[in-house]
Structure 1
Amino acid sequence: MIEVIHDCAEHARQPLVRGMFADRKRLFIDLYGWDLPASEGRYEVDQYDTADTLYIIVANEAGEHDASIRLMPTTVPHMLADIFPHLCPTGVPVGPDIWESSRLCLPQRHGAEGRRVAIRRKPPCGGGEGAVLRVLV
């Protein structure tokens, strides 16, 4: 099942959202060693997880986080403009129809093959959000 969540603060207590942030912490902080904040020592949440953020989350049959990606409108502060503008020599793309994707999270528990590949190939459950997930994953 694919869930599209806007404004995670509104859904912060939802197990699916907590699972996503916990998996992000295990992947980006614990495994990759990125120097990022860890809320309550359990969740990877940064300054770009705001009311403007859109999350596309793949949930398994039990409703638990299987994969996710974060989308930010470029009309508000976002990582590419704030931290990585040097990656855009002709200027950071900005506009109401341009979104930044980050924090693609495919948890290690799925293994490098098998389950992770199945998640990437999972048929979309919705319209555009499923298409976005298939393109980005």
Structure 2
Amino acid sequence: MLATILGADAHDHALIMEQVWRFRHHQFVERLGWEACRRSDDREIDQFDGDEAIHLPLIVDGAVVGYSRLLPTTRPHLLSDVYPHLMDGADWPRGARIFEWTRCISEVSERRISSVPISNILMTGVMEYCLVAGIETLVVETHPKLVNLLVSTGWEVMPLAAPSVLDGSLIVPITARPSRAGLLRHHELYGINGSVLDLERAPCNPFGPAPLVRLPFADELHGSVNYARIAGE
């Protein structure tokens, strides 16, 4: 299930976060070749992993098998401090309910949760978390092929600038807005029943101390999909 950990609470989840740092290093440095992020301790941590970062590790049988990170746009983030040139001089959205979506990846394996590939659980969980937490818009710097995936799976996508070449790859800055209809689209496409969030493990609410509450899908029918159980049970 997808845990939700605020950076300020990372010390309370030290074992999970140690897995996160090593998982990120293995995936981004060893697997994808991000040599600029290589560290001798095999832990991939950058300047944006502060108290305001939101960590979304996907955990199966106690192991981190997928991960995504959200960064507030009211604080320094990748587009503001590392890649502003992608905007070609234009401004980008920022606000309390606008976050940057970064470091999204799952392991390459045949592992599944209730017959659903972990990559699909991860992408669904990011949208569900945004809806539960009240995050209205995500800013993403990504490859155009992922833009097509986001559109086809129900995200409301808007390009912010023309694509640019970055380290030999085509990258385009976009906004992606979550919606209830989009989450239902994920569930129907991937055959997911119920919530994929582990709100009991680490109920990260970036906007206050109130506990996060699951969306009321449990007793509803949507087409052929019954949300009466939680994925992974």
Calculate the TM-score normalised by the size of structure 2: 0.48
Q: Which residue of 2 aligns with 1:118?
A: 117
For the residues of structure 2 that align with 1:12 and 1:58, how far apart are their CA atoms? 14
Provide closer, same or farther for how the CA distance between residues 130 and 120 of structure 1 changes in structure 2, counting only shifts above 3 A: farther
Q: Which residue of 1 aligns with 2:72?
A: 73
Q: Which residue of 2 aligns with 1:103?
A: 103
CA shift, 1:66, in A, is 1.3
Secondary structure of the structure 1 residue equivalent to 2:18: helix
Q: Which residue of 2 aligns with 1:36?
A: 37
2:11 aligned with 1:10: yes
For the residues of structure 1 that align with 2:75 and 2:38, how far apart are their CA atoms? 21
Between 64-73 and 24-33, report the one with greater CA deviation. 24-33
Number of residue pairs matched by the alignment: 129
CA shift, 1:13, in A, is 2.0
2:54 aligned with 1:63: no
Contact 2:5 2:54 in 1 (8 A): yes
Task: Calculate the aligned-residue CA RMSD, in Å.
Answer: 3.1
Q: Which residue of 2 aligns with 1:83?
A: 82
CA shift, 1:32, in A, is 2.0
Extract structure 1 runs of 4+ deviating beyond 6 A. none
Which ranges in structure 1 are unaligned for 5 or more consecutive residues? none
Q: Which residue of 1 aligns with 2:215?
A: none
Contact 2:10 2:17 in 1 (8 A): no
Secondary structure of the structure 2 residue equivalent to 1:33: coil
Contact 2:73 2:94 in 1 (8 A): yes
Secondary structure of the structure 1 residue equivalent to 2:14: coil
Q: Give 1 or 2 for the bigger CA radius of gyration.
A: 2
For the residues of structure 1 that align with 2:105 and 2:120, how far apart are their CA atoms? 15
Secondary structure of the structure 1 residue equivalent to 2:37: coil
Which ranges in structure 2 are unaligned for 5 or more consecutive residues? 133-152, 156-175, 177-233
Q: Residue type of the partner of 1:65?
A: V
Secondary structure of the structure 2 residue equivalent to 1:43: coil
For the residues of structure 2 that align with 1:93 and 1:86, how far apart are their CA atoms? 15
Q: Residue type of the partner of 2:85?
A: H
CA shift, 1:12, in A, is 5.5
